[in-house]
Structure 1
Amino acid sequence: MTYQSKSEFSKPEISQNRKRLPNQRWYIYPQNLELANKLAESTNLSPIINQLLINRGIETVEHAQVFLSPESLKLPSPLEEFPDLAISLELLQHSIATKEKIAICGDYDADGMTSTALLLRSLRWLGAQVDYAIPSRMHEGYGINKRIIEDFHNEGVGLVLTVDNGISAFEPIARARELGLKVIVTDHHDIPQELPPANAILNPKLISPASPYYGVAGVGVAYILAVCLAQQMGSVQDINKPMLELFTLGTIADLAPLIGVNRRWLKRGLQLLPKSSLPGVQALIQMSGVQARGMESQNNSPSLTPNANINSDSRSHINSNSNINSSSNINSNTTNNLNRNPNNKSLKTLKPEDIGFRLGPRINAIGRIGDPQIIIELLTTDDMGIALERAMQCEGINRQRQEMCEEIEHAAIAVVETEYLLSLKDDRVLVIVQPNWHHGVIGIVASRLLERYGVPVFIGTYEDNETIRGSARGIPEFHVFEALEFCDDLLGKYGGHKAAGGFSLPAKNLDAFRQRLSEFANQCLEVHHLKSLLKIDAQINFDRINHELYEELNTLEPCGIENPDPIFWTPDVQVMDQKTVGKGHIKLTLCQTIGDRNHKIKAIAWRWRDYFPLPKRVDIAYKLRENHFNGNTTIELEILGVRLPDRSNLFPKVIKKPIKSSFEYNQRHYICAIYPNQFSGELRIKNPEGIVLAVELGKNTGLLGANRQEAQTVDISEQRYQVIIQVAWNALSRLLEDI
């Protein structure tokens, strides 16, 4: 038997511009209406908001109270949580008192640079003689090294302070101790088998995972150290706000989890940023066009039932104590009325997305392809003129970074489509290495390729003829660091965690590396995993989308890692109008018919030019967003996912005989029919050559062939099958509705 080719059976739908829809798998959270209604009685929020809380693991009134009112979180003393904090404070105070030189070794990402700026500002304010160094991304790579240690020693430095690095730098820190330098390591990365011989180590991975401090990024560790030192020296009131602003920038830009103490402090910091006390932050906001928005203040967050409420006296006590901990042994008369707004019900605030997509990239661009000194000067200067100059440099370098990313992404897609696309399901991992790509941006391109193809991505470029250096991004079922460990004997340096990593290897090992990664991927991934996972909170209809719902969603802010923006979906939406705008975005007008009313709404799909034009009817997944234009504010959709509607719900529960129809598609005549069976029913589509696609309703696979005995199993979620199935359902739908 000779099979008709799959491409001949179902050719692409309209033009060559749209070859496919996004390669996604949707996970829709199960809805727990009983628990949502129960929580609603206490939180005074609608059941849908309480369902969002449940989706985030919040299932008790007490947990909801802390989440909705982060100021109610009872914080233990940092001195009790971080064993080496006391010795760190002692070392720093001694250096400040004796005018001993202190040197900070930072990192070139947003976390490392904001950490460096935070400690420079605070230590200088406290009278320290302090300077800094950041290793070269291109020539030295991540972390403190022996060259930096030798330079510090030659400059007469007595105390070295690492930020956002150092936990794995055994040899450089051992060298520092040989030279008589004291070392404090502040870091948040995973703990190696052997700790460096530092005088003190501050790392949340060394404390209990149950601690509210466990999720802080490098800038969070620096913030805790700086606040505690300032408290001990009686100066926290003067420098608290700028430190909190830098903590906010670094934490969000580093994708730290927005839970625990991060949530509490970020809520305050986001309210400070619109009227920042730092010229550099003011200049960044001005250049990026970020606009603050009104949001409910902490004092106006949803109230709980009387039994669950914190009374006004206890709330006042919490807000009037130390920024770190009200019961800390480090006492100061620091007040934290950052969330108080006695005269107005609404505060101007930024959202994490403003930092994640506007401010953060401008900072990170410098670390990727520029000189980190630009950011350090931007965030430490008190001169607005210098701040604006540095912000303009950030703007220009970020544009270069964007152009570089676009160029490399297009080149990478071309390579994948011509060389690797057909083998992805067998390899289950994408390894792509090309010369002359900038190492500083290939991590961004790796994320975009992962989103496009749904497989783990390892992307690299040649440092020279003998060495490759790269970045990796993974999907939920694939552990990047474990994959790199699986290739240990083939690699040079490597590191990372579950979702991302970095590596280097001899160029001669590339083929073996590709094969070994495929072996690892085939051990942990099934074919159905090879699609981007989109987690969806709930289904809503367009008539529910309004300003009231949007404002209620603000009670979940700040949203980000481990507290994602709510994602909704709406089935069978009509695409009334669509066009490409800007750099490949799709702007849409969508319509849902509910009863006898049509509900229309505007939407945007960022960087979706490859999917233009979208089909006329689709299921959509999206976030809600505000659009401010000409003084008007409207609620629009940010499209995250699209799939063809499931027409199987039109199938009658009981039919006694087949229902048949036919249709023309790409100037070819097809016959389609629904046949009853003992389970649900089967859709069959026959092409002019007699090849049949048979799909049992509700299944993800079908049979393709001239007869059932010799037919091959195919994945009907692929675009070429989805399109022809959709056209067949359209042909049958009128007949089905008449039954």
Structure 2
Amino acid sequence: MTKDWQVASAVPPALVELFADYPSLFAQLFFNRGILNQNAAVDFLADDPRRLFFDPFLFRAMAEAVQLAIEHIKTGHPIVVYGDYDADGVTASALLTEILRTLRARADHYIPDRISEGYGLNEAAIDYLAKKGTKLIITVDNGIRNKLEIERARALGMDIIVTDHHLPPDESSDLPDCLIINPHSRGETYPEKKLAGVGVAFKFAGALIQKSTLSAEKKDKLIGRLLDLVAIGTITDCVSLTGENRALVKSGLAVLSRQQRPGLKALIREAGISDDKKIDAWHIGFQLGPRLNAAGRLDHANTSFHLLITRDDQEAASLARTLNANNQVRQRLTDEILAAADQDLDPAEKGKNIIIARSPNLKDGVEAWNEGVIGLAAGRLCERYYRPALVLTKREAEVKGSGRSVAELNLMAMLEKVREYLARWGGHAAACGFTLKSDRPEFVQEFIAAVKQAANDLLAGKIFSPRLLIDAEFGLENWTEKIIADLDRFAPFGEDNPQPKFLSRGLRLLDVQLMGNESQHIKLRLKSETSPIFSALGFGRSEDWKNLPIGGKIDMVYYAQINEFNGRREIQLKIIDIKPSAA
């Protein structure tokens, strides 16, 4: 799909002057990211990001929640950290369980099975934990809508603390009656609103550590030891990498680079990342995170949990191999669902306001798609057609769905409009999961019709327009290794702080070479009128650009990177998009 290239407005002269002591590109990049004063710039580039952490007791309910937890720790009551099966929930579970045990709590964890139990608290799990003698449940990344389940837990004699980062329900009466630590709670004054689930869990853990009797040095070491998990969970949950989240991730990547946890060491090796490689946000987002998520998608998230907390090298290696194998199966299943959904969709549907794909057993077949990967398939459909996409599957008597969206449609707003059909639902503007109240064919059809109408209502007057936001036009002849090294100071890259994208126009194409086992990648050699020859790589894009005419001119959007191979260093461009040049 053709993208609308949008180059950022030029930085105002006053900001160029304000940031004159920084490398020349920084003023434009600061401006693009809303960094408009010296203090903000200093904080953004801080070499000691831990100084930017907010006091956890700024959460309104933190003091009361910590006091309740301390009472249970002192009396020796069993405490359970109730987690979620994605990487955010698993890292949060591991982090909080680890700290509670360090503080001598009788702590255990519980992560529900994605298939048989689903998302969030459930009555069977509550009853099970009560029979085990649990007196305090601390939830992490489990949403904020389990009012009935929490009522049951309290009736069975258990206290509940909810730590979460999801949006609360529209009606306050739908909130559970318990202590809630959530930056989105109504009236909450905590400054950072975009924490991941693991970020909120880290804040609770940090508050517990603060109130402990440990020395200041030991407290500092304990907090630092958790930051690798915070970085992994924050990056994989695709929350904003600005503000405190940036400080958390930047600090966590420094801890991760030392690779202290046997499980993470083993997972890094299984992912094929060399020992001398500096781990960055890309490695977590595209290599480590998917492997951690694969456990909850295909088997049970406990595999990832135990990998994160084990201190045994042999166990770590075994668990890492299992996660790697699960990830390979996950990739295959996602590809199969995507192909089947794509083939089954009416061509006209692909241009409508929302794409809805159903597993064969929801139509006239018998196959049920694996619900652990339908969200990934929805994401791929959304990316391919630039439309919101829902993928539904049925297991036994339950119909579940997962959705991914584009900027034009808020999925949670859409689900609120069709809540009468939903037994459970949750998520964010761009991603959601839900379970229908009935699997009757006519009920499913009514739900689909209602969703289409809700999407139409919310999208009224809007035009789908995939945009490619570009930081700056930059002449190819201007690149140096020093400039690219300076750009690394903007890392870690992610949501709200993307890796800088640049546009160069009128580039002469000198050579086209296909790469990869299936010739799926492409390498171009090109230059501007006054530049040396550069190499530009397009991963998985050979079909798009293999027929570009040698000697012709193109405009190209790309990332600028340093490639190191066999002791050689050279500037290499990673292609994002290409258009014929008007020059």
The reply to whether TM is greater than 0.5 is yes
One of 222, 230, 239 as aligned partner of 1:256: 239
CA contact (8 A) 1:275 1:282 kept: no
Q: Which amino acid aligns with 2:408?
A: E
Q: Where does residue 275 of structure 1 map in the other structure? A: 258
1:438-489 Cα offsets, whole Å, 9 max, x none, are 111121122222221111111222224x653221111111111122223334
Further displaced range: 197-206 or 255-264: 197-206
Question: Quick one: structure 1 residues 280 and 492, their matched pair in 2 at CA, closer, same or farther if it must change by over 3 Å?
Answer: same
Q: Where does residue 112 of structure 1 map in the other structure? A: 89
Q: Which amino acid aligns with 1:461?
A: T
Matched, 1:480 2:411: yes
Matched, 1:387 2:322: no
CA contact (8 A) 1:565 1:623 kept: yes
Question: Quick one: structure 1 residues 64 and 269, their matched pair in 2 at CA, closer, same or farther if it must change by over 3 Å?
Answer: same
CA contact (8 A) 1:241 1:277 kept: no
One of 204, 211, 214 as aligned partner of 2:193: 214
Shift of 1:526: 7.6
One of 374, 377, 393 as aligned partner of 2:306: 377
1:571-606 Cα offsets, whole Å, 9 max, x none, are 2434421314246642212313324x5x33223323
Q: Which amino acid aligns with 1:287?
A: E
Shift of 1:557: 1.4
Question: Quick one: structure 1 residues 100 and 504, their matched pair in 2 at CA, closer, same or farther if it must change by over 3 Å?
Answer: closer
Separation in 1 of the partners of 2:4 and 2:451? 23
Separation in 2 of the partners of 1:583 and 1:87? 59
Separation in 2 of the partners of 1:144 and 1:260? 31
Separation in 1 of the partners of 2:442 and 2:219? 55
1:85-115 Cα offsets, whole Å, 9 max, x none, are 1122212222222211111110000000001
Q: Where does residue 74 of structure 2 map in the other structure? A: 97
Q: Which amino acid aligns with 2:56?
A: P
Shift of 1:503: 2.5
Gaps of 5+ in 2: 361-367
Separation in 2 of the partners of 1:526 and 1:170? 34
Separation in 2 of the partners of 1:411 and 1:615? 31
Separation in 2 of the partners of 1:111 and 1:395? 18
Shift of 1:349: 4.4
Q: TM-score, normalised by structure 2?
A: 0.90
What is the number of equivalent residue pairs in this alignment?
562
Question: Quick one: structure 1 residues 410 and 611, their matched pair in 2 at CA, closer, same or farther if it must change by over 3 Å?
Answer: farther
Matched, 1:203 2:182: yes
Matched, 1:630 2:566: yes
Q: Secondary structure at the match of 2:152?
A: helix
Q: Where does residue 578 of structure 1 map in the other structure? A: 513
Question: Quick one: structure 1 residues 200 and 522, their matched pair in 2 at CA, closer, same or farther if it must change by over 3 Å?
Answer: closer
Q: Secondary structure at the match of 1:398?
A: helix
Match runs of 1:214-233 below 5 Å: 214-233=193-212
Question: Quick one: structure 1 residues 175 and 528, their matched pair in 2 at CA, closer, same or farther if it must change by over 3 Å?
Answer: closer
Q: Where does residue 59 of structure 1 map in the other structure? A: 36
Separation in 2 of the partners of 1:251 and 1:136? 22
Matched, 1:642 2:578: yes
Matched, 1:496 2:431: no
Shift of 1:429: 1.8
1:242-283 Cα offsets, whole Å, 9 max, x none, are 311111111111112111212122212111112122111111
Question: Quick one: structure 1 residues 470 and 644, their matched pair in 2 at CA, closer, same or farther if it must change by over 3 Å?
Answer: farther
1:625-675 Cα offsets, whole Å, 9 max, x none, are 343322333332222223333x3x6xxxxxxxxxxxxxxxxxxxxxxxxxx
CA contact (8 A) 1:378 1:391 kept: yes
Separation in 2 of the partners of 1:74 and 1:240? 14
Match runs of 1:147-162 below 5 Å: 147-162=124-139
Separation in 2 of the partners of 1:121 and 1:540? 48
CA contact (8 A) 1:405 1:441 kept: yes
Q: Which amino acid aligns with 2:255?
A: L
Separation in 2 of the partners of 1:277 and 1:245? 9
Question: Quick one: structure 1 residues 523 and 625, their matched pair in 2 at CA, closer, same or farther if it must change by over 3 Å?
Answer: farther
Question: Quick one: structure 1 residues 439 and 532, their matched pair in 2 at CA, closer, same or farther if it must change by over 3 Å?
Answer: farther
Shift of 1:25: 2.4
CA contact (8 A) 2:59 2:188 kept: no
Matched, 1:452 2:452: no
Q: Where does residue 156 of structure 2 map in the other structure? A: 179
Q: Where does residue 606 of structure 1 map in the other structure? A: 539
CA contact (8 A) 1:111 1:251 kept: yes
Question: Quick one: structure 1 residues 560 and 399, their matched pair in 2 at CA, closer, same or farther if it must change by over 3 Å?
Answer: same
One of 614, 619, 631 as aligned partner of 2:555: 619
Separation in 1 of the partners of 2:504 and 2:460? 28
1:714-734 Cα offsets, whole Å, 9 max, x none, are xxxxxxxxxxxxxxxxxxxxx
CA contact (8 A) 1:586 1:612 kept: no
